[in-house]
Structure 1
Amino acid sequence: MNLAIDIGNTKTKIGFFKEDRLESTETFNSLLELNQFLDSKETDAVIISSVNISYEDILKELKNLKNPILLNQQTSLPFKNEYKSTTIGLDRIAAVAGAQALHPEENTLTIDLGTCITYEVLEKGNIYHGGAISPGLHMRFKSMHNFTARLPLVKPEPIDAYIANNTIGAMQSGVVFGIQAEIEAYIQLVKRKYSPLTTIITGGDAKFFESKIKAPIFAIPELVLVGLNAILRYNVSN
């Protein structure tokens, strides 16, 4: 059984895989919780991705893992990476690998709706070109509140009317329909160059927008874990 560990800003998510099939997932609030859980588990191979905790500190906590692959900028990938910056987030790399694993040889656009919204373009399942980054759903509401004198802090809610007759409704409309329009426009831009195009959405706010996007999409909540497992299998076999 393979184990993929995705350590995010607030929570840690893990997935157990039998070859390329996801068997189960778990979410933890701390590495201590995760270490206690893994104490009774046996794994054949492990990969770890972290966005905010050093691997040195992680391995001090997760003492029972044997020779895990630590995803970084030097890790071998199952696709050609043409992204020029070495600061690319590891979750973005994993999402691209997940898209490739699920739709090999296809042009894919992966949209991760998290703290930020990231767009990743993979050509013919083989060449990663990069994409775009914009503020996420909650970040936009917080920004309007933090950078103005009187706008309240608003929580996302499903809305139907894009013309609002009150301030909170207007903020909801601007953010929700703004993101929807951005996503739909970006899909069309990418499709002009890479067609046919398979679009995948993932991330914490994917469910919020899944029914709103007027374009064919696949919603894959565990895409990053799928990608981590794909990178793990690629490195183990090579």
Structure 2
Amino acid sequence: MILVFDVGNSNIVLGLYEGRELLNCWRISTDKDKTSDEYSLMIHQLFHYSNVDIKKVEDVIISSVVPNIMYSLEHATRKLFNIDPLVVGPGIKTGINIKYDNPKQVGADRIVNAVAAFEKYEGPLIIVDFGTATTFCAVSKEGVYLGGTISPGLKISSDALFQRAAKLPRVELVKPGKVICKNTVNSMQAGIIYGYVGLVEYIIKKMKSELNTKNATVVATGGLATLIASETDIINVVDKYLTLEGLIIIYERNKEEANRRYIGQD
């Protein structure tokens, strides 16, 4: 079995794979202050809770956009599995040609998403990842990563409104069903959610125009993808596990290197 980590700013998603089959999926909070021992304990508890034998894990691959957490997380995996994890970054084979001013600046999660989406849906593609930030990525018909856009995530936008406007409360991110609302909470929900739908639709339309095609497949992923996709027909596919699938694909493309990383092996 292969254990994959998708480390985001708010959450770490862990996926346990047997080949291409996702056996288990867990989500924990990202905490840069946790030690390797604390992460080791949490991971061990997840396996125990799901009645999975931790000794059956053959290898680990990590994608992270949080550099400060990597020391603890990498040491945790060494303690638990006795191997150095494969980390998505420079030198990793992805199969994606990155056309970016500085390819090292592209978030690992964006590349991983592009790998999975291109293999599953082919190009041209627009990939929208609704995370702490919402990222929009364009992939050509030939599988070239062309770049994209980054905007504040839905929760960040909601929190900013609560924090900066003294008389406005924190609200749950649910659809009020209308935009002409009769109370403050519904008015805020309408502005946040339906306003965000407008942002998504506009950016996707602009990206399709720059790609010079109306036929780009729009793939959405991330925790709030379903909420936004339910209000627009511009999103073609919601793929909940896109990033995890991308990680297992990248692992398969780097198996030879992975086999050399067992601790104590030359």
In the superposition, the TM-score normalised over structure 2's length comes to: 0.79
Measured in 2, the distance between the counterparts of 1:165 and 1:6 equals 41
Higher relative contact order (CA 8 A, sep 6+): 1
Measured in 1, the distance between the counterparts of 2:223 and 2:57 equals 27
Query: What are the equivalent positions in structure 2 for 1:195-234 lying under 5 Å apart?
Result: 195-234=214-253
Unpaired runs of at least 5, structure 1: none
Contact 2:7 2:64 in 1 (8 A): yes
Whether 1:59 and 2:78 are equivalent positions in the alignment is no
Aligned residues: 237
Q: Aligned letter for 1:207? A: T
Higher helix share: 2
RMSD: 2.3
Given the alignment, which residue of 41, 49, 63 partners 2:55? 41
Q: Percent identity?
A: 27
Residue 132 of structure 1 deviates from its aligned partner by 0.8
**Runs ≥4 residues deviating over 4 A:** none
Unpaired runs of at least 5, structure 2: 30-37, 258-266
Query: What are the equivalent positions in structure 2 for 1:61-100 lying under 5 Å apart?
Result: 61-62=76-77, 63=79, 64-85=81-102, 86-100=104-118
Residue in structure 2 matched with residue 122 of structure 1 by the alignment: 139
Measured in 2, the distance between the counterparts of 1:7 and 1:35 equals 17
Contact 1:119 1:133 in 2 (8 A): yes
Measured in 1, the distance between the counterparts of 2:42 and 2:138 equals 35
Q: Tell me the alpha carbon deviations over residues 36-73 of structure 1, each in whole angstroms, 9 at most, x when there is no partner.
A: 53862323442112332443322322211423211124
Q: Tell me the alpha carbon deviations over residues 108-161 of structure 1, each in whole angstroms, 9 at most, x when there is no partner.
A: 111111211111111115100111111111111111122223222222121221
Measured in 1, the distance between the counterparts of 2:170 and 2:241 equals 30
Distance 1:33-1:15 versus aligned 2 partners, 3 A rule: same
Q: Tell me the alpha carbon deviations over residues 92-122 of structure 1, each in whole angstroms, 9 at most, x when there is no partner.
A: 2221122122123x21111111211111111
Q: Secondary structure at the match of 2:251?
A: helix
